[in-house]
Structure 1
Amino acid sequence: MKKFQLLLTILFLSNSFLVQSQEYFEGILTFKMKFQDKTGKLTDKQSEQYMGNQQTYYLKGKNYKSELNGLLEMTTYYQGRDTLFTKMKGINSLMYSLTNVREEKIISFKIKKTKKSILGYKCKLLEIKTNKGFHQYFYSNDLTCDSKTFENHKMGLWDFFTEKTNGALPIISISDVEDYKSYTELISVVQKKLDINIFKKPDFPIIKMPKN
């Protein structure tokens, strides 16, 4: 199960959203993604087959849901507290992980200007060095959420990222750490009001996410 935990971390490194004036984004975001398992448990082909190459986010206030298009049909639910719930095809239970635990120690960070533009968004770059590797986040302050919403979401450095960028969320996210490499890039933004029931977790027995 360790490879699923690695993927969960990636999911939180790749959240992104649109703002107009002081209105925070609500709607649907789609990312293309690539994942490389450095532990040797999965080949690149297996990673894409089982986990997928596309990720869809639904965001409304403190709530989000993430769906992957791989054979595992992996779906995660976050309801603004300190717990993430994960459902995978063929498993008749919800696995939970605590989001208020940071698994990497931040060593340094820098914010840089870039010439990169994605979907019309001119990007800045936040680079973070940790005890396990590095992360790069290309972001725009025209694409944002309320950073206070995710103060308790330390998993994936989500709280740190939104704090240092005034709530801006990544357009491109690149990670290279001990166990994996990953790349995600925003390919679609649909701003719309969402029914809160989208974020309701399914009614299954709840178990702790295995570590191995």
Structure 2
Amino acid sequence: MRKPVLLLFCCLAGLCLHAQYFEGKVIYKNTFTSKVPGLTDSALGAMMGSEENYYIKGGFYKSFLNGAAIAMQQYDHRTNRMYFMKPDIDTLYWVDAGKSQDKVLSYETREDAEVILGKSCDALVVQTAAGTTIFYYSPRYKLDAALFSRHTYGGWAFFLGKTGCLPLKTVIDNDRIHIESVATEALELELKDNFFEVSPLLPLVKAK
């Protein structure tokens, strides 16, 4: 009788490990500081969006923004494409998420850097040729990093490879802009697979 019990234990352990990955919705508040002459902080914020509703499940994510530049963006790990829509335009644009022109020069981890949503977060500080990005994360919000290993766009694969967690706060600073995106709410939800499917009804165009 020991073998069936052992098999049952292994199956249950596998289910528990899978359940540890975060699935649900995170609301981020975004603030922007412009370093471009003639471009005000308020104009930049209106263009980029002050709030993002972000949904993630497995190797898929999808987010909705309230800015004038992009209304929706999503990622499909099967095609390694990022898709996005502009407000009031019924066209789905896509880019190859495996292309990144930025290069990591150095990085460091800072323990207990900040408390966000009541969770103590470590910080991964990444220095690239373009500037500095800081990811604040808690092990409470784990992701399967292997599913995003080809997602080099925006340094996403590098970040997840080092932390295995969803960021609760991201700070981006370069010579043109300073961005802070902070989670104000994180909800565990069971999301249907078809929520992340690319609509076959929309024209599909590769972004230049």
Same fold (TM over 0.5): yes
Choose between structure 1 and 2 for higher RCO, CA contacts under 8 A separated by at least 6 residues: 1
TM-score by length of 1: 0.82
CA contact (8 A) 1:20 1:142 kept: no
User: 1:132 Cα shift?
Assistant: 1.1
User: What is aligned with 1:177?
Assistant: 174
The match for 1:189 among 186, 193, 199 is 186
Give the corresponding residue for 2:150: 152
Q: Deviations over 1:171-206 (max 9, x none)?
A: 111011244321100111110101222212332222
**2:32 aligned partner:** 35
Higher mean Cα deviation, 82-91 or 66-75?
66-75
Residues 33 and 91 of structure 1: is their aligned pair in 2 closer, same or farther, counting only changes over 3 Å?
Answer: same
What secondary structure is seen at the aligned counterpart in 1 of 2:135?
strand
Structure 2 letter corresponding to 1:69: N
Tell me the amino acid that sits aligned with residue 104 of structure 1: D
Match of 1:55 in 2: 52
Largest Rg, 1 or 2 = 2
1:75 Cα offset (Å): 0.1
The alpha-carbon distance between structure 1 residues 40 and 87, as it changes in their structure 2 partners (threshold 3 A), is: farther
Structure 1 CA distance for aligned equivalents of residues 181 and 110 of structure 2: 19
Q: In the alignment, which of 118, 121, 126 is matched to residue 120 of structure 1?
A: 118
Over 3 Å counting, the alpha-carbon distance change for 1:191 and 1:201 in structure 2 is same
Moved more, 80-89 or 68-77: 68-77
Q: Deviations over 1:36-55 (max 9, x none)?
A: 44445742111222332111
The corresponding residue for 2:197 is: 200
Show CA shifts across 1:72-113 (max 9, x none). 561012111321111111323111111101221111100111
The CA RMSD measured in Å over matched residues stands at 2.1
1:8-47, aligned counterparts within 5 Å?
Answer: 23-40=20-37, 42-47=39-44
1:55-134 matches, cutoff 5 A: 55-72=52-69, 74-80=71-77, 81-134=79-132
Indicate which of 134, 137, 140 corresponds to 1:136.
Answer: 134
The answer as to whether partners of 1:35 and 1:48 remain within 8 angstroms in 2 is yes
CA separation in 2, counterparts of 1:148 and 1:117? 27
Where in structure 1 are there 5+ consecutive unaligned residues? Answer: 1-18
The separation in 1 between residues aligned to 2:83 and 2:157, in whole angstroms, is 18
Helix, strand or coil: the match of 2:94? Answer: strand
Give the secondary structure class of the aligned counterpart of 1:35.
Answer: strand
* 2:161 corresponds to: 163
Normalised by the size of structure 2, how large is the TM-score?
0.84
Q: Alignment length, in residue pairs?
A: 191
Q: Percent identity?
A: 28
